């Protein structure tokens, strides 16, 4: 017994993949539900969509019922937390950041604007948010906002304030 239709579909998919019933052709293809993956073993981890869950030490969030829902979730998380979405090798020596940095959607580790530790904090916030621990995320963002305000970085403090409001709204 499941609580919703979506859970029933996910359970059905899991059981069909596990037992491979002979006469049930539905869902027997190799397509599975999408997940969000964060590979924490990378130096500068990315958040991306995958359909394969393997025991590789990465964090997986899902399953999502459709690719559309996982894309909406990813878009929301990207707006809230400025992690990198590029696939290039990060050296910290690029001459200038990409457009994502200028619209506050990336902390630009490629140019060295964010250290490995600062970027790890952003990814940590993404993991906490996906786990549902929004209190820890907002507390950390509030502390950063206070520091930015005390350091007279009012634009950064305003951006953090907006991010706090967005997390609380979600």
Contacts 24+ apart (CB under 8 A), 87-94: 87/46, 90/43, 90/44
Calculate what percentage of the chain has a pLDDT beyond 70. 95
The backbone region for 126, taken as left when phi is positive above 0, alpha when psi lies in -120 to 50, beta otherwise, is alpha
Residue 82: how many CB atoms within 10 A of its CB? 22
Task: Between 23 and 151, name the one with better pLDDT.
Answer: 151
Overall pTM > 0.75: no
pLDDT digits (tens, 9 = 90+) for 90-135: 888 888 888 888 887 888 898 988 889 999 998 998 898 888 888 8
CA 161 to chain centre: 20
For residue 73, the surrounding DSSP H or E stretch is helix 67-80
- State mean pLDDT over 159-168: 83
Can you spell out the DSSP letters for 85-117? ---SPP-S--SS--HHHHTTS---TTTTSS-HH
Which of residues 44 and 133 earns the better pLDDT score? 44
Whole-number pLDDT of residue 29: 58
2-28: per-residue pLDDT in tens? Answer: 998 888 888 887 888 788 787 776 655
Instruction: Please provide the average confidence, as pLDDT, over all residues in the chain.
Output: 85
Contact 110, 97 (CB under 8 A): yes
Closest CA to 116 of 36, 45, 59, 60: 45
Q: Using a CB cutoff of 8 Å and minimum separation of 24, what contacts does 87-93 make?
A: 87/46, 90/43, 90/44
Dihedral sign from CA coordinates of 130, 157, 114, 87: positive
- The per-residue pLDDT for 38 is 92
């Amino acid at each position: 017994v499941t609580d919703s239709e979506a859970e029933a579909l996910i359970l059905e998919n899991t059981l069909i993949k596990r037992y491979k019933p002979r006469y049930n052709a539905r869902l027997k293809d190799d397509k599975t539900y999408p997940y969000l993956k964060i590979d924490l073993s990378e130096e500068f981890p990315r958040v991306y969509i995958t359909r394969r869950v393997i025991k590789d030490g990465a964090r997986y969030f899902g399953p999502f019922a459709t690719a559309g829902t996982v894309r909406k979730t990813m878009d929301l998380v990207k707006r809230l937390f400025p992690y990198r979405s590029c696939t290039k090798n990060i050296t910290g020596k690029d001459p200038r950041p990409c457009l994502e940095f200028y619209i506050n959607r990336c902390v630009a580790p490629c140019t060295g604007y964010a250290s490995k530790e600062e970027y790890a904090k952003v990814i940590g916030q993404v993991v906490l948010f996906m786990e549902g621990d929004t209190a820890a995320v907002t507390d950390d963002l509030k502390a950063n906002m206070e520091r930015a305000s005390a350091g007279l970085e009012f634009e950064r403090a305003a951006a953090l304030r907006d991010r706090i409001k967005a997390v609380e709204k979600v």
